Amino acid sequence: MQKLYSLLTTLLVLLGLNSYGQWGYFSGSLQTNTNFFIRDPKIGAYNMPQYDNFKVGADAWMNLNYTNDQFGLEAGVRIDFFYNSILRVPTSPYTGAGLGNFFIKKKIKDFTFTGGYIYDQIGSGILYRAYEERTLAIDNALLGVRAEYNYKGLLRLKAFAGVQKLKFSIQSPIILGASAEGNFDLGKNVRLVPGAGIINRSEDQNTMNQIVSTIESYDTIGRFVPKYNTYAFTLYNTLTAGDFSWYIEGAYKTKESIRNNELHSVNDSLINAAGNCVFTSLNYAHKGFGITLQFKRTQDFYMHISPNPNESTFDGSMTFIPPVSRENSLRLPSRYFAPSLESHELAFSEDASYTPSKKLTFELSGSYVRDLLMAQFNPVSLPFFGEGFIQATYKPIRTLEIQLGFQYVRYNKYVYQQEGAPNVDSYTPFAEWQYKINKKMSVRMELQYQRVLLDYGQWLYGLVEFNVAPHFSVAVSDMWNFKPNPEINPNANHYYSVFFGYTQGSLAFTLAYVKQVEGIVCTGGVCRIEPAFSGVKAGITATF
């Protein structure tokens, strides 16, 4: 590893001055997050190492890129640092530091070659997606090589090979992939963007030995012969015609060893199963009206490095199946969300907006997710998730905006959190008010109420935020479980938050005192359960 550091440092210096005597340019970024943990048994922030022993944790990412457009060169490195970090596994702090990313990219006419850590995806990501999401500690880059060919913007071919990143090391199974995408103009306001992709994942010998050992422990009836190689294929297309846009993708995966995560399974055994997934989205927008319809059908579409469980929920994942439920930004409406299930689900959603005038906008959305296998025999089977959402935005004058809305959710807590009542019903009215005092100063207020008797009980949430553009932002909020469900929490807890932010050019500083309830945290449609948090958070972000 030390030799690799030296090689990369030397390479970046040499790239700064090429043989023609032409300089490129450097750019970079720095992000740091520091947590000061304050023990609070009332809300469940205790009996974890960060509260009982360590007290302080930090994460940092330092990124430096070099670009020379004249000669088609690009290179970059990123150093990652984690000290008692709760990003990866919130209940088990992690400490480590090292090279988080490096890459070299060279363009030669219509070809582009990349080596190092590569972030990429095929189609919508159902078949394959390598990406980074820092807030959830997802970084499953491909360490390998990629070749791309782009013919006049009409045809793009891509092939890559490598192994998946795991912290500061790698996972041994080999990933090979290729895709082809077109871009064709069929006439006035009609465009077709078709694509196809293929992935091959080959297990390493150590992983296969573990799989074989697990299968041999079963009774004869549950045994099967595992395979080293798994193949997966996808076809997708985007059709744009005037005010309409339609995306559809279908993916299939050959049989392999996967975990038996059936809803009613009594164990987590291995089974030999193929998988498939279909996703489609239809959009229409015209003169103040817009609507999006989505449908998804998934059955046993596990795309992981191996079936062996890892310490982090996202380690080894090779795919991203788009969720169809709405990801809300407001605090209480965002507490219940349906992330995609790889096992089996049938999902539908609708999002519509209507603006009858410049002052008024209505939004209406709904989503429904149910068990695919049960739905084959009983169309009215137990739902996993259902949501109805309505919101009106009124702007009587240029400086004032008012939002009123209501959300209803039916949430199967057993399916998504493996605990609690099968169905949780949540009723959440909310209001938001924003007023611009002048060109620089503004005030924003939120008020929300939630009634969810089979979970935490009843909540009230209030927030006041004051902004002075472009430098200052201050916010104070309280999430109060004023009438708790005694089976979940006997105390009527307050979850206070005080936030201060300062921005100066490309530098941003944040400081917040936070109390956060245990629950699901989602970013970009990816979710995980996090324990309660109590403490102070400080952050610095800089670009240069």
**Secondary structure element (H or E) that encloses residue 239, with its range:** strand 229-241
* Residue keyed to tokens 């995966």: 253
Q: How many residues does the chain have?
A: 544
Which single residue is written with the structure tokens 């959710």?
409
Whole-number Å distance between alpha carbons of 464 and 452? 24
Q: Give alpha helix (H) positions in 356-484.
A: 372-375, 413-417
Nearest to 64 by CA among 3, 15, 4, 107: 15
For the chain, the maximum distance between any two Cα atoms, rounded to a whole number of angstroms, is 76
Strands (E), 400-516: 400-411, 424-436, 441-452, 457-468, 472-484, 494-504, 507-516
> Tokens in use for 278?
């279909």
Q: What 3 state SS string does 36-87 have?
A: EECCEHHHCECCCHHHHHHCEEEEEEEEEEEEECCCCEEEEEEEEEEEEECC
Residue with tokens 């620089």: 440
User: Three-state secondary structure along 297-356?
Assistant: EEECCCCECCCCCCCCCCCCECCCCCCCCCCCCCCCHHHCCCCCCCCEEEEEEEEEEEEE
CB 249 within 8 Å of CB 279: yes
What is the pTM assigned to this prediction?
0.90
Closest by alpha carbon to 154, among 185, 177, 124?
185
Three-class DSSP category at 215: helix
**Which residues make beta-bridge pairs with 445?**
433, 464
Work out the burial of residue 241: count CB atoms within 10 Å of its CB; fewer than 13 is exposed, 13-18 middle, 19 or more buried: middle
Q: In the chain, what are the domain boundaries?
A: 1-108, 110-322
pLDDT on residue 376: 54
Torsion of CA 365, 371, 374, 376, to 10 degrees: 60
Walking along the chain (544 residues) 10 residues at a time, the average pLDDT comes out as 51 48 83 97 94 94 94 95 93 93 96 97 96 90 97 96 93 96 92 97 91 87 89 98 97 91 60 95 96 96 82 80 92 94 92 96 96 60 88 96 98 84 90 96 98 95 97 97 90 95 96 94 83 96 95
Q: Per-residue DSSP letters for 174-212?
A: EEEEEEEEE-EEEETTEEEEEEEEEEEEE--HHHHHHHH
DSSP state string for 242-292:
TTEEEEEEEEEEEEEEEE---TT-SS--EEEEEEEEEEEEEEEEETTEEEE
Cα angle at 148 between 63 and 131, to 5 degrees? 40
Q: What is the pLDDT of residue 266?
A: 44
152, containing H or E segment: none
What pLDDT is attached to residue 259?
82
Q: Is 289 exposed, middle or buried (0-12, 13-18, 19+ CB in 10 A)?
A: middle
pLDDT of 420 reads 67
